[in-house]
Structure 1
């Protein structure tokens, strides 16, 4: 078991969160200098790791938002281009009517 876990273990009779904090602080006070230095190094590393994780998460969220915006813009642009090509190449109403008539005639 890690040093900090042993030092901060509070007796099961403590039900109050305040008393648990008091027990933790007393445990730190009663540590030797070496144990205390190790414990504070552990706390510092834990805070640093949490900061790194939070920063990476925020960066990922920003990148995701940027990627979605770029993808949407690109998709809209492609849609406009395709729609423009279809309008130029299509004789849609006439083609549709011919195809519809042919399908009705072939069913008979």
Structure 2
């Protein structure tokens, strides 16, 4: 889904929530393009607190971004002829730093 389509979809959800209440958005989860946004709409419809939605989706988005960064670094390393053991160490470092950040965010 492109950015403009996502904006329109979210505004539609906002209007439905305004007129029907938060539970009114539950049937509209199918409008969302992926599991990430469907989970967010489900949380919204079930009455989750704004901070809970931000926290859960924020951690999920960070994990997804980390995996994508690992793909980028891994493929670029392969293209650069990097030693597989060195590449593995670098990818594990990315994963480990991300896990540490996740743990810290849960503690705060």
Please give the TM-score of this superposition, normalised by the length of structure 1.
Answer: 0.31
Larger radius of gyration: 1
Q: Report the TM-score when normalising by structure 2.
A: 0.31
